A and B are shown apart, each in its own frame.
Chain A
Amino acid sequence: DIQMTQSPSSLSASVGDRVTITCRASQGISNYLAWFQQKPGKAPKSLIYAASSLQSGVPSKFSGSGSGTDFTLTISSLQPEDFATYYCQQYNSFPFTFGGGTKVEIK
């Protein structure tokens, strides 16, 4: 199985900050990487697929990059509604696997 490792597991940031979250796969997954946002008590929301393509309706402040084993999610200017937990997921091969999550908190 492919292991997905996210870092950091949590971070504190201020409104307006640029935030970067990394996700590393235990083996190459090409660009079959998705990012999701989850707020407390809510279902996850899809943000990015194919490592860098925005889902419909997702604001351009979110961006993704990477290929192979190393990926990043960047939020260009953190807003109050962006405080949440973010997960990566590989869908290159079964079983599809998620990273452990990165909780973005208010500083």
Chain B
Amino acid sequence: EVQLVESGGGLVQPGRSLRLSCTASGFTFGDYGVSWVRQAPGKGLEWVGFIRSKAYGGTTEYAASVKGRFTISREDSKSIAYLQLNSLKTEDTAVYYCARNNGYTPGWQIDYWGQGTLVTVSS
């Protein structure tokens, strides 16, 4: 069974940093891309960023709203993807989801989601 479990969320002050983890199981993690998607309270889904599998260079893409502040990485030996959040702002308050991107069909479509972890940025 495919599972994605996020962790690392919590309350953090503006300007500080946080690292989220996405631990995968039930599939060969290294063969898939990973997206991070967030949802502010009462709002819709916002795409945050993406990391390709190593077969496609392991490169990353980011939304303009987080580029230069957030960094996605992966540790395939542990089946974990990370989202490093720096210089946090109050508007980064959201539930953060990781999702698996399936590159076996054309494009990088999301097929599985984690349950999410809440990040609250407040003084």
A residues contacting B by CB (< 8 A) are 1, 32, 34, 36, 38, 43-46, 49-50, 53, 55-56, 87, 89, 91-92, 94-101
Contacts and interface: CB of A to CB of B under 8 A. Distances in A.
18 contacts: A32-B107, A34-B109, A38-B45, A46-B109, A46-B110, A46-B112, A49-B102, A49-B105, A50-B109, A87-B44, A87-B45, A89-B47, A89-B110, A95-B64, A96-B35, A96-B108, A98-B45, A98-B46
A94 B64 CA distance: 10
Contacts of B63: 95
Nearest to B95: A43
Interface of B: 35, 37, 44-47, 50, 61-64, 97, 102, 105-116
Q: Is the interface of A mostly helix, strand, loop or mixed?
A: loop
A96 B63 CA distance: 8
A45 B113 contact: yes
Q: Is the interface of B mostly helix, strand, loop or mixed?
A: strand
Given A46-B113, A98-B46, A98-B47, A92 B107 contact: yes
A91 B107 contact: yes
B78 to A, nearest CB: 22
B75 to A, nearest CB: 23
A50 B35 CA distance: 17
Contacts of A44: 37, 45, 97, 113
Contacts of B37: 44, 98
Nearest to B102: A49
Nearest to B62: A95
Contact of A55 (B35, B61, B111): B111
A100 B106 CA distance: 24
B109 A43 contact: no
Nearest to B116: A43
Contacts of B116: 43
